[in-house]
């Protein structure tokens, strides 16, 4: 893993470029024309109706519960993406975690750099994914930390400031784990599998979970760059808490990029590549990207539920039939995520390239 030991060139936080007030972005953030966001032509989600699902329906009568599961299942097949409301997590917890992380990104640069990350584990404060020299970079900084399994969690790699932050991350993380457990059960059943199937296939209590907090500073030329290039999340399930004042997330539907309008106090749920693999492509991971803007910074928290890192994961045998042969070879998550960690985001090329021939 020599190539992952350090960054190929010095890392410049995007925040420092933004705060320098320069009217133009450096060349290495300028995307080729085909990848630029074309801000006017992005389709408005309201026209296409990205699903917003009321999770309260799961604990009502059998009819209501079945209808909610069906809505989730349809969203996973069609979009790999949906928003949830009535999810049981208090607005106070949601607001608090956003506030402490805003506080972190507004600390003096030196305080943040004390947590500078390296590509060996990515834990800490960083500004790039991928170790290719001279790569075109994204207009965003982030903090990445490991929440589960407990054998890997290390508070010293979490920020210590602003002071309530570690407690707030613990509190938020435990709420996220509960929500993911519910969603994993719903997905298992709606795939026709045993209710605990996904939980067990992900390694049960040894499954992984991590948090990536994204900070997108204001950008003087938002039409030339992206906050995060197109990608699908490599893990299982992502629960995203996005700024509900500032839009930025776009999801791909066919050839169109659709701008998501976050519903206040909703979470955005995204299917990742491991669930695409496990479901033998009945459910699809969603390709998504982030556009930035000149007027406002944006913050988002992505909580990722991932398989135990050394467990080979392939299509569930129950979902393989003579008409539907296994589409993917089993692979451990450790091996799988090396690709994005080396190459950076690349649309859905990784999961597509894995198709067994
Ligand atoms: C991610 C991601 C989207 C956003 O962190 O993987 O896609 O809105 N984030 O910041
Ligand atoms: Ni993502």
- Digitized pLDDT (tens) for each residue of the chain, 357 residues in all: 555 689 999 999 999 999 999 999 999 999 999 999 976 555 665 555 789 999 999 999 999 999 999 999 999 999 999 999 999 999 999 999 999 999 999 999 999 999 999 999 999 999 999 999 999 999 999 999 999 999 999 999 999 999 999 999 999 999 999 999 999 999 999 999 999 999 999 999 999 999 999 999 999 999 999 999 999 999 999 999 999 899 999 999 988 899 999 899 999 999 999 999 999 999 999 999 999 999 999 999 999 999 999 999 999 999 999 999 999 999 999 999 988 898 899 999 889 887 765
Q: Can you give the pLDDT at residue 355? A: 78
Q: Can you give the pLDDT at residue 43? A: 64
Structure tokens at 265: 């106090």
CA distance 280 to 164: 42
Contact (Cβ atoms closer than 8 angstroms) between residue 39 and residue 291? yes
Q: Can you give the pLDDT at residue 56? A: 96
Q: Can you give the pLDDT at residue 47? A: 54
Q: Can you give the pLDDT at residue 59? A: 93
Q: Can you give the pLDDT at residue 356? A: 62
CA nearest ligand 1 atom 10, residue: 300
Q: Can you give the pLDDT at residue 349? A: 87
pTM above 0.75, yes or no: yes
Q: Can you give the pLDDT at residue 38? A: 76
Q: Can you give the pLDDT at residue 75? A: 96
Domain limits of the chain? Answer: 2-353
Structure tokens at 333: 């998550």
CA nearest ligand 1 atom 2, residue: 302
Question: What residues pair up with 206 in beta bridges, in sequence order?
Answer: none
Ligand 1 binding pocket (C-beta < 6 A) is 212, 214, 228, 233, 240, 242, 248-249, 288, 290, 300, 302
User: For residue 317, how far is its CA from the centre of ligand 1 (angstroms)?
Assistant: 31
Question: What residues pair up with 116 in beta bridges, in sequence order?
Answer: 125
User: For residue 322, how far is its CA from the centre of ligand 2 (angstroms)?
Assistant: 33
Which residues have CB under 8 Å from 134's CB, separation 6+? 8, 9, 28
CATH no., domain 2-353:
2.60.120.330
User: For residue 128, how far is its CA from the centre of ligand 1 (angstroms)?
Assistant: 13
């Amino acid at each position: 893993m020599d190539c992952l030991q350090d960054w190929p060139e010095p890392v410049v936080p995007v925040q420092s470029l933004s705060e320098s007030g320069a009217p133009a972005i450096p060349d290495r953030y300028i995307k080729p024309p085909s990848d630029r966001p074309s801000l006017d032509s992005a389709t408005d989600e309201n026209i296409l109706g990205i699903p917003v699902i009321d999770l309260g329906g799961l604990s009502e009568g059998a009819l209501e519960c079945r209808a909610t599961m069906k809505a989730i299942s349809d969203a996973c097949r069609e979009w790999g993406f949906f928003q949830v409301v009535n999810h049981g997590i208090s607005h106070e917890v949601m607001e608090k975690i956003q506030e402490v992380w805003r506080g972190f990104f507004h600390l003096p640069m030196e305080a943040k750099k004390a947590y500078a990350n390296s590509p060996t584990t990515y834990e800490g404060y960083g500004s790039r994914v991928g170790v290719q020299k001279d790569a075109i970079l994204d207009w965003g900084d982030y903090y990445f930390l490991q929440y589960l399994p407990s054998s890997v969690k290390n508070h010293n790699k979490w920020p210590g400031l602003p002071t309530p932050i570690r407690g707030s991350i613990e509190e938020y993380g435990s709420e996220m784990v509960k929500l993911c457990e519910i969603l994993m059960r719903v997905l298992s059943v709606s795939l026709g599998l045993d209710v605990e199937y996904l939980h067990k296939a992900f390694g049960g209590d040894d499954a992984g979970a991590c948090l990536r907090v994204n900070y997108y500073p204001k950008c003087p030329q938002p039409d030339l760059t992206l906050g995060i290039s197109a990608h699908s999340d490599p893990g299982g399930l992502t629960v995203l808490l996005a700024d509900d004042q500032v839009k930025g997330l776009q999801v791909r539907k066919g050839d169109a990029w659709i701008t998501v309008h976050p519903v206040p106090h909703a979470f955005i749920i995204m299917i990742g590549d491991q669930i695409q693999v496990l479901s033998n492509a009945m459910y699809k991971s969603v390709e998504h990207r982030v556009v930035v803007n000149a007027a406002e910074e944006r913050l988002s928290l992505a909580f990722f539920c991932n398989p135990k890192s050394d467990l080979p994961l392939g299509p569930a045998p129950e979902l393989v039939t003579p008409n539907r042969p296994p589409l993917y070879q089993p692979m451990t998550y450790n091996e799988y995520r090396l690709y994005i960690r080396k190459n950076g985001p690349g649309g859905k090329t990784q999961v597509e390239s894995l198709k067994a021939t």
